[in-house]
Structure 1
Amino acid sequence: MSTTTTSHSPESEGPGRSARLIQNESTTEIPVHLLFRDDPDPVTVPLKPAVVARRQGTGEQPRLRRPTYPAPRPAPQVDPELTERRARVLPGAAGVFAGVCGAAGCVATSWWAGVLPPLAVEALALPVRAGVGLGPVQWAAYAGAGALGMFGFGGLARGRAGRAWVLGLFGRYRGTVRRTGLLWVNPLVLRRRVDVRLRHWRSEAMPAADGSGVALRVVVLVVWRVRDTARATLGVDDHETYLRECVEAALARVPMAVPGGGKGAIEAAGDALTRLVAADTAPVGLEVFAVQPVRVEYAPEVAAAMNRRRIAALDAQHRASVLTSVVDSVEDTVTRLTMRGLVELDDYERKALVKDLTVAFCSGRTESGQ
Structure 2
Amino acid sequence: MDSQEKLYSPISGYTILALCLIVLFSSILLLIGLRIPHFVFGVVLGIAFIPGFFFVNPNGSRVLVLFGKYVGTVKENGFFWVNPFYTRKKISLRARNFDSERVKVNDNIGNPIMISVILVWRVRDTFAAAFEVDDYENFVRVQTDAAVRKLAGSYPYDNFDDEQAEITLRSGLDSVNEHLEKEIEERLSIAGIEILEARIGYLAYAEEIAGAMLRRQQATAIVAARHKIVEGAVSMVEMAIAEIGKKEIVDLDDERKAAMVSNLMVVLCADKDITPVVNSGTLHH
TM-score range, shorter chain: 0.7 to 0.9
Aligned residue number for residue 87 of structure 1: 8
> Within 1, Cα distance between the matches of 2:235 and 2:111?
38
Q: Deviations over 1:169-202 (max 9, x none)?
A: 2222111111112110222111111110122222
Q: How far 1:263 moved relative to its partner?
A: 7.4
Deviation at 1:162, TM superposition (A): 0.8
Alpha-carbon distance in 1 for matches of 2:44, 2:156: 65
Which amino acid in structure 2 is aligned with residue 251 of structure 1?
V
What pairs with 1:217-366 in structure 2 (closer than 5 Å)? 217-254=114-151, 255=154, 258=157, 265-363=172-270, 365-366=271-272
Tell me, what secondary structure is at the counterpart of 2:178? Answer: helix
Q: Which has the higher helix share?
A: 2
Aligned to 1:96: 17
TM (normalized to structure 2)? 0.81
Shift of residue 277 of structure 1? 1.0
Q: Whose Rg is larger?
A: 1
Aligned to 2:48: 151
CA distance in 2, matches of 1:281, 1:327: 59
Deviations 1:39-97 (A, max 9, x none): xxxxxxxxxxxxxxxxxxxxxxxxxxxxxxxxxxxxxxx6x5x6211124111123213
- Preserved contact between residue 164 and residue 195 of structure 1 (Cα < 8 Å): yes
User: In structure 2, what is the equivalent of residue 112 of structure 1?
Assistant: 34
Aligned match for 2:85, one of 161, 165, 188: 188
What percentage of residue pairs aligned between the two structures are identical?
A: 25
Please say which of residues 301-310 and 262-271 is displaced more in the overlay: 262-271
> TM-score normalized by structure 1?
0.64
The structural deviation recorded for 1:262 is 8.8
CA contact (8 A) 1:259 1:297 kept: no
Equivalent pair of 2:5/2:126 in contact (CA under 8 Å)? yes
> What is the CA–CA distance in structure 2 between the aligned matches of 1:302 and 1:141, rounded to whole Å?
81
Instruction: Kindly indicate whether the alpha-carbon contact (under 8 Å) linking 1:257 and 1:266 is maintained by their aligned counterparts in 2.
Output: no
Q: CA deviation at 1:209?
A: 4.1
What is the CA-CA distance between 1:204 and the residue it aligns to? Answer: 2.7
How far has the Cα of 1:230 moved from its partner? 0.8
Query: How many corresponding residue pairs?
Result: 263
Decide whether the 8 Å contact of 1:326 with 1:361 is kept in 2.
yes
**CA contact 2:117–2:148 (8 Å) conserved in 1:** no
SS in 2 for 1:293: strand
Alpha-carbon distance in 2 for matches of 1:189, 1:200: 31
Q: Give the secondary-structure state (helix, strand or coil) at the position aligned to 1:109.
A: helix
Structure 2 CA distance, aligned partners of 1:332 and 1:215?
Answer: 49
Contact 1:98 1:152 in 2 (8 A): no
Cα shift readout 1:196-249 (whole Å, capped 9, x = no counterpart): 012222223233444423222223221211110110111111212212222222
